[in-house]
């Protein structure tokens, strides 16, 4: 059973749910009865049939998740990858301890309410004995809480230490993330790629771990990076670099948020982590490294883009546009969303964004550029060639 679990969890298509069930079966010491070999074979077959049937009905199981599937519900209880799993273990310990405290305190309270409730028959309305300065009681409500806090602090410190001092197997992929109001600037120094808002990373298998080291900085105010399934929260602070890492082990698109109130559009400063197969990731890298498209059919759009000073804020490689205040648009069409995840990147939203970004994202730093309908159409056509 052990080798089976190992193999299954390495398989590209077998995901968390199936591995979880396998682990459970393994831990519970499930043994097929040592009866006649024919019966045993049949029992084994039956077991696997039921197993596959059950796991197919669970979320995140065999073949259930592909790289383009969005995990729209963020959930700290479904960690995917090493640091999130470490945090999850500590959270469970903390929650169990808190649950214990809740049950004890709540139970005592309930007991007192029921046991000492006002009764019409035997209530002589005298005061119960008033106890002052009881050493036993003082110790009882001082020492255990201190011990509980010490346990919680030590468990947390251990997890923080484990995450901070992890020795990576192999060379981690480096990504530099710079927080802006209200979007994320992304750099892949090894590949010389600059993009925004959507973090593409290769999936990490047990056999080939692919840790991803994040360097977090800020261009303006303090922001916070958090993708609940993949990582804990980390700060992005101006004039400082913080390190963090993720190691996602299941394909899919994971959503995250800025966790520090940074202005009007803080709530729409969304993160997408696209965890894809190593092959898809390589394809994405090749696409991002390609020189930008120079389609002669959209010359008017290119001119309108330049004439309206769009290039003061946005960069498009190979053109005079080299602004740094807004997202790099060199491979704009490779992104799924607009305005840091605020709307899908389609024609309708793109038109709306160009007419007035304040409609989709009120308070974002891109002003209404007062473009007329023709200019909007020309720039849309131009942007759509930026693959």
The contact set with ligand CUA (CB under 6 A) reads 179, 182, 223, 258, 260-262, 266, 269
Going by the DSSP 8-state scheme, the letter that residue 336 receives in this structure is S
User: Following DSSP, what letter does each residue of 114-137 receive, concatenated?
Assistant: HHT---TTT---PPPPPP-S-HHH
Quote the CA–CA distance of 60 and 239 in Å, as a whole number: 40
SS (HEC) of 153-198: HHHHHHHHHHHHCCCCCCCCEEEEEEEECCEEEEEECCCCEEEECE
Smallest separation, CB 146 to ligand CUA (Å): 36
- Cβ distance to ligand CUA smaller for residue 242 or 308: 242
- Cβ distance to ligand CUA smaller for residue 201 or 236: 236
Q: How far is CA 115 from CA 111, 119, 124, in A?
A: 6, 10, 16
Element of type H or E holding 252: strand 252-258
355 within 8 A of 277, measured Cβ to Cβ? no
Strands 242-246 and 198-202 come out as: unpaired
- Cβ distance to ligand CUA smaller for residue 19 or 177: 177
Smallest separation, CB 267 to ligand CUA (Å): 8
Smallest separation, CB 265 to ligand CUA (Å): 8
Smallest separation, CB 217 to ligand CUA (Å): 13
Smallest separation, CB 275 to ligand CUA (Å): 23
- Cβ distance to ligand CUA smaller for residue 14 or 258: 258
Smallest separation, CB 268 to ligand CUA (Å): 9
- Cβ distance to ligand CUA smaller for residue 86 or 262: 262
Q: Give me the residues paired with residue 337 across strands.
A: 344
- Cβ distance to ligand CUA smaller for residue 81 or 179: 179
């Amino acid at each position: 059973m052990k080798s089976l679990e190992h193999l299954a969890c390495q398989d590209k298509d077998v995901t968390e749910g199936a591995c979880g069930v396998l682990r459970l079966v393994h831990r519970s010491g499930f043994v097929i009865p040592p009866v006649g070999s024919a019966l045993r074979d049949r029992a084994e077959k039956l077991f696997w049939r039921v197993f596959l049937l059950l796991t197919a009905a669970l979320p995140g199981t065999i073949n259930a998740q592909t790289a383009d599937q969005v995990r729209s519900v963020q959930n700290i209880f479904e960690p995917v990858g090493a640091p999130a799993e470490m945090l999850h273990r500590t959270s469970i310990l903390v929650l169990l301890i808190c649950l214990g405290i809740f049950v004890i305190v709540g139970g005592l309270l309930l007991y007192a309410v029921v046991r000492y409730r006002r009764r019409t028959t035997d209530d002589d309305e005298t005061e119960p004995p008033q106890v002052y300065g009881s050493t036993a009681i003082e110790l009882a409500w001082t020492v255990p809480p201190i011990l509980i806090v010490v346990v919680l602090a030590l468990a947390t410190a251990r997890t923080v230490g484990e995450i901070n001092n992890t020795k990576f197997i192999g060379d981690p992929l480096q990504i530099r993330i710079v927080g802006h109001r209200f979007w994320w600037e992304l750099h892949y120094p090894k590949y010389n790629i600059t993009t925004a808002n959507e973090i593409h990373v290769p999936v990490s298998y047990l056999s080939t771990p692919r840790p991803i080291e994040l360097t977090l900085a800020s261009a303006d105010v303090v922001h916070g990076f958090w993708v609940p399934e993949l990582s804990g929260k980390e700060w992005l602070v101006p004039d400082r670099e913080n390190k963090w890492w993720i190691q996602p082990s299941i394909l899919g698109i994971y959503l995250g948020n800025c966790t520090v109130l940074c202005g009007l559009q803080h709530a729409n400063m969304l993160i997408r982590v696209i965890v894809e197969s190593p092959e898809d990731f390589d394809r994405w890298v090749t696409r991002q490294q390609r020189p930008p498209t120079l389609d002669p059919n959209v010359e008017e759009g290119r001119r309108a883009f330049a004439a309206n000073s769009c290039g003061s804020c946005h960069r498009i490689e190979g053109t005079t546009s080299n602004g740094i205040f807004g997202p790099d648009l060199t491979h704009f069409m490779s992104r799924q969303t607009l305005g840091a995840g605020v709307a899908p990147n389609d024609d309708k939203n793109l038109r709306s964004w160009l007419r007035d970004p304040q409609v989709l994202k009120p308070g974002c730093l891109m002003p209404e550029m007062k473009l007329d309908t023709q200019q909007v159409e020309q720039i849309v056509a131009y942007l759509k060639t930026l693959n």
